[in-house]
Amino acid sequence: MILDKPDIAWENELYDQLYQKLARYYELSRRYKNVTTKLDHAFEVASVLLEIHSESKANFLEWMIILLFVLEIVISLIEKLF
């Protein structure tokens, strides 16, 4: 985790207390949770946008295939009639 205590805080009690006080003062835990939540939401939005883009590309390709089938049928009918 990004908010792990630095090594010096593990080695010296004074630095550990200072780290704890600063972490509470700057509300590091709450801020970290907020940033994590916002990044999770951004990831979800990016995933949805990527899915929409892929889906629209797939829809375009499906319509092109349908158009080619229709074109082939029309050409076959024209050849048989004339």
Does residue 22 register a pLDDT over 90? Answer: yes
How far apart (Å, rounded) are the C-alpha atoms in residues 3 and 39?
Answer: 16
pLDDT at residue number 66: 97
pLDDT at residue number 1: 58
Residue ranges covered by each domain of the chain: 7-81
Is the pTM higher than 0.85? The answer reads no
In the predicted model, what is the mean pLDDT of residues 6-31? 93
User: How does pLDDT run across 27-81, given as a tens digit for each residue?
Assistant: 999 999 999 999 999 999 999 999 999 999 999 999 999 999 999 999 999 999 8
